[in-house]
Amino acid sequence: MENLSPAEQYLQDAHRRLPGVTSAMFGALPARTRHAQYASSYALLTSCVPTAATAQTVLDLACGDGYLLKLLAERRRSPLRLIGVDMSQSELDAASAALPGDVTLLNERAQTLSLGTGSVDVVISHMALMLMRDIEQVLSEIRRVLRPRGRLAAIVGRSFLQGEVREIFMEVFRPIAREHLSHLPFGDRRTSTEDGWIELLGREFQNIEFEDVEIEWAPSPDELWNSLLGTYDIDRMAEGPRERLREALLQRLSRLQQSDGTIRAGWGLRLITAQAA
Above 70 in pLDDT, residue 2? Answer: no
pTM across the whole model: 0.95
With respect to residue 108, please indicate whether it lies within any of the assigned structural domains. yes
Above 70 in pLDDT, residue 115? Answer: yes
% residues pLDDT > 70 (the chain):
99
Read off the pLDDT band of 270 (50, 70, 90). very high
pLDDT tens for each residue of 99-110:
999 999 999 999
With respect to residue 197, please indicate whether it lies within any of the assigned structural domains. yes
With respect to residue 98, please indicate whether it lies within any of the assigned structural domains. yes
Our measurement of the distance from residue 225's CA atom to the centroid of its chain's CA atoms, rounded to an integer in Å, reads: 19
Above 90 in pLDDT, residue 266? Answer: yes
With respect to residue 1, please indicate whether it lies within any of the assigned structural domains. no
Above 70 in pLDDT, residue 1? Answer: no
pLDDT tens for each residue of 249-263:
999 999 999 999 999
pLDDT of residue 141: 98
**Helix ranges, the chain (H):** 6-17, 21-26, 41-46, 67-73, 89-98, 135-145, 163-180, 194-201, 221-228, 232-236, 239-253
Computed over every residue of the chain, the mean pLDDT equals 96
Rounded distance between C-alpha atoms, residue 212 and residue 103, angstroms: 30
- What is the average pLDDT across 210-226? 96
Side chain identity at residue 185, one-letter code = P
With respect to residue 18, please indicate whether it lies within any of the assigned structural domains. yes
- What is the average pLDDT across 222-243? 96
With respect to residue 135, please indicate whether it lies within any of the assigned structural domains. yes
CATH code, domain carrying 52: 3.40.50.150
Rounded distance between C-alpha atoms, residue 63 and residue 271, angstroms: 17
Distances (CA, A) of 121 to 1, 41, 59, 177, 200: 27, 21, 8, 42, 21
Provide the domain count of the chain: 1
* DSSP per residue, 128-188: -GGG-SSHHHHHHHHHHHEEEEEEEEEEEEEESS-HHHHHHHHHHHHHHHHHH------S-
Torsion angle of alpha carbons 38, 132, 109, 150, nearest 10°?
50
Above 70 in pLDDT, residue 178? Answer: yes
Our measurement of the distance from residue 162's CA atom to the centroid of its chain's CA atoms, rounded to an integer in Å, reads: 17
Element (H, E) at 37: strand 37-38
CB atoms within 10 A of CB 17: 10
Range of the domain at 43: 6-276
With respect to residue 272, please indicate whether it lies within any of the assigned structural domains. yes
DSSP state of 62: T
DSSP state of 210: E
Taking a C-beta distance cutoff of 8 angstroms, is the pair 262, 218 a contact?
yes
pLDDT tens for each residue of 26-39:
999 999 999 999 99
pLDDT tens for each residue of 28-78:
999 999 999 999 999 999 999 998 878 999 999 999 999 999 999 998 777
With respect to residue 40, please indicate whether it lies within any of the assigned structural domains. yes
- What is the average pLDDT across 125-152? 97
